[in-house]
Structure formats: C-alpha cells, structure tokens
Amino acid sequence: MKKIVLSALLLATAVAFAQESKVSVSGTVDMYGTANFVDGAGTPGILIANPANANGFGLGSINTVFAYEGEKSGFVADLAFGPKADDANLAGAINQLYAYYNVSDKTTITAGQFNTFLGYEVISPAANFNYTVSYLFNAGPFSHTGVKLDYAASEDLSYMLAVTNSHAISSADGNVGGEMQFGAQVGYKGQYLNFIYGGVDGSGITDNMFVDYTGGFDLSDSLFLGINAAYSHSEDADAGYQGAALYLENTFSDSFALGLRPEFFQMNGASDATVTALTLAASSSLTDNLKVITELRMDSSEDGMIEAFAGEESVSALTIAAVYSF
C-alpha cells in the first residue's frame, strides 16, 4: 500500500512539474499496407534504405518528441523507432536531440542534431501530405549535427547560418576525418532558398554543393501549390543530382483532401539517369488524431532508376497507411 501511495505521489509530482516547466510530449505512430502491380516485392518511397522490404502489411515508426520550453532556452529530444525511422536516424533511436538559446526575440542559437532545413518533405509522416516520399527527399540530407543561428529580421524575412558535420556521418560513428558543412537559408513570406557546401560521407571529397528551393502558394481558399526544386554537384566526384516536385493539394472539407505530386529526378555523373513519379493521394481524417492516406503511385524510368525495381521501366503501387498523432 505504501508503494502505491508513493508511486501516486511521484506521478502527481511529475505531472505538476511538467505543467509548471512547460514540458510537452507529442508524436506519431504509423503503419501501412501496400501492393504493387509488377513481379517482385516493394513499393518506392516507403522505406528509404530498403524499399523492396515494403511489401504487404508493414510497420512504419513510432516517434515521440519530448520538449522543454523555458523563458530563454529549451531542448527537444525526438526519439523514433521502427523500419522507417531506422533508415533516417543518424544515431540509434535519436531523430533529433538539441538545445537552443534565445539570444533575443529575433535571434536563436541551436546546438545538437536537428532535421535538415532542405526540402519540402520531412521524416515525420504526420507533417507530410503524402505517405510515400519523393526521390528528392531520399537523396537527403535528413539531419545535421552541429550549430545553427536563426535570425528573424521581420515577420516575413528570416536568415539562418549553420556549421555542421558532413550530413551522412552519424553521431554514433563520429566525424573522424573532420569533414564539415556550411549551410545557409533565406526565407521570405514562406519561400525558402537553402544552400549547403562541404563534405558528405567521410570520403574526403569536400566540394559537395546543394542548392534547394522550397515554398508554396495558395491558389484559392482550398487549393495549395507546393514547390521543391534542388540541385547538387561535386566537381571532384563528378556526381550530383537535380530534380523538382510539385505538390497540388485541394481541401474539400475538414476531413478530406486530395493531392497530386508529379516529380522529375535525375542523377548526374559519367552518365545521366532519370526517373519520374506521379503520386495521387487522398487524405481522410477519421478523428482529430487519426488520418488514413490512400496513395496510387506510378514510377517510370528507362535508366533503371526506380527504387527496388532496377529492371523495370514502369512500376505502379497502391498504399493505404494509417497515421496517428498525439
């Protein structure tokens, strides 16, 4: 009986502390069923590293975010487990782990591991309209480990500078070769121009350049057009990529929306290879926390560029996913 009372007191104390100190807990859980219309297993865009393993019913990930917001500083501990998370995490179960300090109302310094500022799509499925991700997203980077400075010049204009490890070097492995990246961002009224220069994977090649534009426009009260265009190149490696994706999303009601994502992606090098993908998605909110995403995706490539289907020129797949947010 004493243990029960003590546990209740500890729980009450923890809850009171959480309320007083502005600690919050949020996250997502997702799972899916998928089938393609060709011989072989897999669906492009579900699992980053092993898309061939996305077959039949599968688990996505569980993502739990612990955040503390103080008067001048705070931290975020973002933990993710599961097949989708394992592909994107840099250090075990850690998706993000960083602390920040508000130097002023306009300036914030962040140190640790944080998700990339490049691209339209993110790791968490709750924040994306689509469930499968684009080739641009899979090209990376996913996260960075280092320091960044954000400056909000006004409500419309913002700047960011970052110094980080090469983005494909995990925090668990360590930056043995000392490769670094320098990043920058300019944001204006929801439009963002991003830039990264430096190493990538500890290979010794340090002239990798990434230029990325991410933004969007409200075409009407219900219709939104998102845009992502990116270019990457290394002269020393004679390699890179370029591509663009559009995100046309129409909201019909509070619980239903349709989206179309056409994408073009090209790998550059000794010989170029291209792939296109067209994804039609329906998002249905069953409750405030649970949504179901139904996708029909068609990938085409004459250069063997379709994820998990190097021998196919065309692959179509149907995916139904459930995403719960808390």
Give me the pLDDT at residue 203, please. Answer: 86
Give me the pLDDT at residue 294, please. Answer: 98
Is residue 137 within 8 A of residue 150, CB to CB? The reply is no
- pLDDT score of 56 more than 80: yes
3-class DSSP state for residue 100? strand
The full DSSP string for 221-234 is SSEEEEEEEEEEEE
CATH number at residue 110: 2.40.160.10
Asked, for residue 299, whether it belongs to a domain, the answer is yes
Among 37-41, 47-51, 82-86, 205-209, the minimum mean pLDDT is found in 47-51
pLDDT band at 14 (very low <50, low <70, confident <90, very high): very low
Asked, for residue 82, whether it belongs to a domain, the answer is no
pLDDT tens digits along 257-301: 999 999 999 999 878 999 999 999 999 999 999 999 999 999 999
Neighbours of 127 (CB within 10 A): 11
Asked, for residue 32, whether it belongs to a domain, the answer is no
Q: Cα Rg for the chain, rounded, in angstroms?
A: 21
Domain coverage including residue 242: 100-325
Instruction: Report whether the peptide linkage leading into residue 141 is cis, meaning its omega lies within 30 degrees of zero.
Output: yes
Neighbours of 93 (CB within 10 A): 16
Task: Name the residue with higher pLDDT: 173 or 46.
Answer: 46
Asked, for residue 93, whether it belongs to a domain, the answer is no
Across the chain, what does the average pLDDT equal?
Answer: 91
Using a 10 angstrom Cβ sphere, with 0-12 exposed, 13-18 middle and 19 or more buried, the burial of residue 213 is: middle
Pairing of β 239-253 and β 223-234: antiparallel
Is residue 64 within 8 A of residue 90, CB to CB? The reply is no
Asked, for residue 3, whether it belongs to a domain, the answer is no
pLDDT band at 26 (very low <50, low <70, confident <90, very high): very high
Give me the pLDDT at residue 173, please. Answer: 74
- The Cα–Cα gap between 217 and 270 comes to 37
Asked, for residue 268, whether it belongs to a domain, the answer is yes
- The Cα–Cα gap between 41 and 52 comes to 5
Is residue 147 within 8 A of residue 164, CB to CB? The reply is yes
Tokens of 9: 């007191």
Give me the pLDDT at residue 10, please. Answer: 37
Provide the domain count of the chain. Answer: 1
Asked, for residue 314, whether it belongs to a domain, the answer is yes
Give me the pLDDT at residue 20, please. Answer: 53
Is residue 262 within 8 A of residue 246, CB to CB? The reply is yes
- pLDDT score of 15 more than 90: no
Asked, for residue 181, whether it belongs to a domain, the answer is yes
Residue in the block written with tokens 């426009």: 217
pLDDT tens digits along 134-170: 999 999 899 999 999 999 999 999 999 999 999 887 7
- Kindly state the helix (H) or strand (E) to which residue 186 belongs, with its residue range: strand 180-188
- The Cα–Cα gap between 276 and 194 comes to 23
